[in-house]
Structure 1
């Protein structure tokens, strides 16, 4: 594979095994659906390659809904937790999947009588710090942050810890040397994010039968998004030695530059037939760039995130071949399990089983593409299965 950016060494594939429950995704913005037919044909011709065959098998595995729920942990006593309050601080409450997390986290904690109070971090250190100071003043039983790296607001998080309130940092890896404990724990997003990066790479390799020329938009917003971008590049190199990869770095702070970056890359290298925006946050900007280049009908896209707007486009936009996503309602229940264990004096597990899924042209017709279905998590499998498993561990029904 030829590259125009440094590509990390291959990392062994991780598919549908035990993976972390943190979310290694960038902020997921609501995206407008693109028009177009729902049918497409393979970009390859002639005999199938071994790379294409392997990728199609891997993608088909990820495209199935989950069946039986794996073991989620050991039972523990939650009887003494009723009446307590948990403070939830997402990085930006109104963006992407965070409203889904809020709704499902409220439901999950409510099963044991724990109340949730939510404060919007507003996407910046000042707003997050203000929320954490409010939490200290409110004296909750615990604080949960979501997709806020410790390094972003270390002083504010340390103030909460010094006040005696346990802190669970969801969607962020622990700083080097920090051990998981009952008072300070992390939901490492890396391995969950790697499943998605493998999935969208497999979609491109499968569609091209191992002959793709790919533009990867690698997100630099945080350490976890950088690691996920490196994983995407490494998996493509491993799964498709005959593919060609061009890597361009993007970030939320430079979102306005993404359309011109995409257009320039395609005009410079007309051989590019696939674009992988690392997250569906960048899907609208990518589409604008394709239109500006005059190649909107010639280039196919795969991305991750699985917000309703993005998943709907798998059906309506014939150039979007796959969206791979985590199950936000399930993630909320893993977060509830972690913080409840901390309130019970336990160290939460570092990882939970993955319930990720890829949405493709082959399975999109089976989905109920409504806000209600998105909130429930039904796209990924039967929600009652993992809810029953968790409440069983908590000793409630």
Structure 2
């Protein structure tokens, strides 16, 4: 005997919904577009503090900088710009070249302590407390320790530093999430590549994820892969290749820091995904803006390296000169895409495309003109 089951129309609808997954409201494309539009305009300069005589203040002072890794073009570009700004003002500045090895950071700290520097800048990702003994020795010697461009504005200050000067990485995450929402109309499958050894990574990538969840209203999915800074050249390409093979529906890749893009692109070529999977990233490193102009990378949120250098030097000079210091670095964010990448120069430069208000603005602020 054959038994037949008949479903009511309501039950049929329920089963169909289960089969297709949870229902979602429409993505909030209007809110996403508003975020994109806000950061598509040339930034204007607003003084981050009161004017002061920088040349007189820094006449007898020396500043030393230890970056997280000199092999990252973005980081090395900031250091080069800081050297130029220091020369413009007229004080001694020295950077400690390294390849992201903690022992090298320790050596740099010890060099600064032994050679009479007034301030040490731990720049772009070094956790001050990871160099606790050296930071304590520096302070004991009367040297101020700064942590700059190292963490998000939501991250508590590190007690090992005299001052912490973060940037709004969570806002960067919102911009990237909004961009992808607009471009995919709320239907994205995103692979995020980050480095958990850099303090800013966690709040930044969580912001990307939360923004996608909110603006897509559940219509976007995302996966995260951690690759430490020292392993970018050996691990990013293989991780991306593996992810694309395992999930061919991935349509966006977010390298948390744009210098990672050079290791993502070969994976797209090898897997036949070049041109299909888009890249959205952050930092505004010149070679990556060139890749945007060439169509290899879809968008790069830029922060002028010259603006970063001036903002960093400004905050540190204020501290060394006994003035009020800002709570974070004054670094505007600007989206570069195919429509404006050429404004950064051909090839792109560290400071082009952002206007030049900050150059004359800081000179006036420091009493140089």
Q: Same fold (TM over 0.5)?
A: yes
Q: Deviations over 1:173-216 (max 9, x none)?
A: 49857579xx8111123x1x223222222221121122222222
- Cα distance in 1, alignment partners of residues 149 and 329 from structure 2: 13
**Does structure 1 residue 72 correspond to structure 2 residue 55?**
no
- The structure number with the bigger radius of gyration is 2
**Secondary structure of 1:380's match?**
coil
Q: In structure 2, do the counterparts of structure 1 residues 231 and 346 end up closer, same or farther at CA, with 3 Å as the change threshold?
A: same
Q: Which runs of 5+ in 2 are unaligned?
A: 1-25
**Secondary structure of 2:191's match?**
strand
**Does structure 1 residue 389 correspond to structure 2 residue 361?**
yes
**Partner residue, 1:355:** 332
- Shift of the alpha carbon at 1:349? 0.9
Q: Give the TM-score taking structure 2 as reference length.
A: 0.83
Which residue, 88, 91, 105 being the options, matches 1:114?
Answer: 91
**Partner residue, 1:165:** 143
Q: Which runs of 5+ in 1 are unaligned?
A: 1-48
Which residue, 281, 287, 291 being the options, matches 1:309?
Answer: 287
**Partner residue, 1:92:** 69
Q: How big is the alpha-carbon RMSD for the aligned residues of Structure 1 and Structure 2? A: 2.5
Q: Give the TM-score taking structure 1 as reference length.
A: 0.77
- Cα distance in 2, alignment partners of residues 284 and 80 from structure 1: 42
Alignment of structure 1 residues 225-374 onto 2, 5 Å: 225-241=201-217, 242-255=219-232, 256-317=234-295, 320-370=297-347, 374=349
**Secondary structure of 1:86's match?**
strand
**Partner residue, 1:34:** none
- Shift of the alpha carbon at 1:122? 3.3
- Shift of the alpha carbon at 1:150? 0.8
- Shift of the alpha carbon at 1:253? 3.9
- Shift of the alpha carbon at 1:331? 0.8
- Cα distance in 2, alignment partners of residues 328 and 244 from structure 1: 32
**Partner residue, 1:83:** 60
**Partner residue, 2:352:** 378
**Does structure 1 residue 214 correspond to structure 2 residue 190?**
yes
**Does structure 1 residue 130 correspond to structure 2 residue 91?**
no
- Cα distance in 2, alignment partners of residues 173 and 271 from structure 1: 32
Which residue, 151, 154, 165 being the options, matches 1:187?
Answer: 165
- Shift of the alpha carbon at 1:75? 2.5
Q: Deviations over 1:29-49 (max 9, x none)?
A: xxxxxxxxxxxxxxxxxxxx6
- Shift of the alpha carbon at 1:330? 0.6
Deviates more, 1:98-107 or 1:135-144: 98-107
